């Protein structure tokens, strides 16, 4: 795992600036909390978190990244695992159950589907994709963009050159989902 961690950290140097081609910036900002549970040093995660934050910023959603044992009840929780066999959700880089509304697992041992220099970009996009499932609250994928079911070489190249963004439809579903979560939280107060 240490080799993977350092590889991810080093490859962060290749991350390029954001190009928000598919969605417009929106005025109202909402912040969601995301907790990270990962063994080992966390510094390599920070670049992936920044990439995910850059993907969400144009659709008016800020992400507060949290660490530690106590994750707030309203937060989304990401766990990185390194030992899932290939037969577990085969060909997936992560898993999120939209009905659960909270838990995401990222299969970190499968980030080697791309070359070492691309892995930190990929991890950031996996974070954003799986968070997208939780926020949309439904099991769906899109034909293009970040919420595509299976990324291919042109997508990986796009991640490296700029960022893969949400389609307008996905962005709308995410913002609707965030509003629902906020309403539920406020009703519970
Ligand atoms: Zn998915």
Ligand 1 centroid to 106 CA: how many Å? 11
Whole-number pLDDT of residue 94: 96
Quick: pLDDT tens for 148-160: 999 999 999 999 9
Cβ partners under 8 Å of residue 148, min gap 6: 141, 142, 155
Ligand 1 centroid to 126 CA: how many Å? 9
Q: Look up residue 133 and give its two tokens.
A: 């499932």
Cα–Cα distance between 131 and 147 in angstroms, integer?
10
User: 28-32, 102-106, 115-119 — which is least confidently predicted?
Assistant: 28-32
pLDDT at 1 over 70: no
Q: Which CATH class is domain 2-187?
A: alpha beta
Whole-number pLDDT of residue 26: 60
Ligand 1 centroid to 141 CA: how many Å? 6
Angle value at C-alpha 6, between 164 and 129, nearest 5 degrees: 25
Cα–Cα distance between 137 and 72 in angstroms, integer?
19
Selected residue with higher pLDDT from 15 and 76: 76
Ligand 1 centroid to 95 CA: how many Å? 7
pLDDT at 96 over 50: yes
Ligand 1 centroid to 129 CA: how many Å? 6
Cβ partners under 8 Å of residue 128, min gap 6: 51, 52, 55, 56, 146
pLDDT at 9 over 50: no
- Of 85, 93, 131, 125, the closest CA to residue 112 belongs to 93
Average pLDDT over residues 170-185: 93
Ligand 1 centroid to 189 CA: how many Å? 32
The H or E element containing residue 6 is helix 2-11
Whole-number pLDDT of residue 138: 92
Residue 79 in contact with residue 54, Cβ under 8 Å? no
In DSSP terms, 36 is beta-bridged to 78
Whole-number pLDDT of residue 189: 64
Whole-number pLDDT of residue 41: 54
User: Confidence band (pLDDT; 50, 70, 90) for 52?
Assistant: very high
Ligand 1 centroid to 151 CA: how many Å? 10
Ligand 1 centroid to 149 CA: how many Å? 5
- Is beta strand 61-66 parallel, antiparallel or unpaired with respect to 30-37? parallel
Cα–Cα distance between 69 and 146 in angstroms, integer?
30
**Average pLDDT score over the chain:** 85
Whole-number pLDDT of residue 61: 95
The 8-class DSSP code of residue 11 comes to: H
Cα–Cα distance between 144 and 165 in angstroms, integer?
9
Angle value at C-alpha 159, between 155 and 165, nearest 5 degrees: 85
């Amino acid at each position: 795992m240490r080799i993977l961690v350092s590889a991810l950290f080093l490859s962060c140097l290749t991350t390029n600036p954001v190009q928000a081609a598919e969605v417009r910036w929106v005025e109202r900002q909402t912040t969601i909390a995301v907790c990270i549970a990962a063994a080992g040093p966390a510094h390599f995660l920070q670049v992936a978190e920044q990439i995910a934050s850059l993907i969400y910023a144009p659709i008016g959603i800020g992400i507060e990244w949290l660490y530690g044992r106590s994750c707030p009840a309203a937060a989304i929780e990401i766990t990185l695992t390194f030992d899932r066999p290939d037969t577990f959700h085969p060909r997936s880089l992560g898993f999120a159950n939209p009905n659960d509304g909270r838990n995401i697992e990222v299969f970190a041992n499968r980030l080697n589907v791309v070359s070492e220099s691309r892995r930190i970009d990929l991890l950031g996009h996996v974070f954003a994709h799986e968070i997208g499932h939780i926020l949309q609250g439904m099991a769906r994928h899109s034909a293009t963009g970040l919420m595509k079911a299976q990324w291919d070489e042109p997508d990986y190249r796009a991640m490296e050159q700029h960022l893969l963004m949400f389609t307008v439809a996905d962005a709308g579903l995410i913002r609707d989902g965030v509003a629902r979560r906020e309403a539920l939280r406020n009703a519970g107060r």
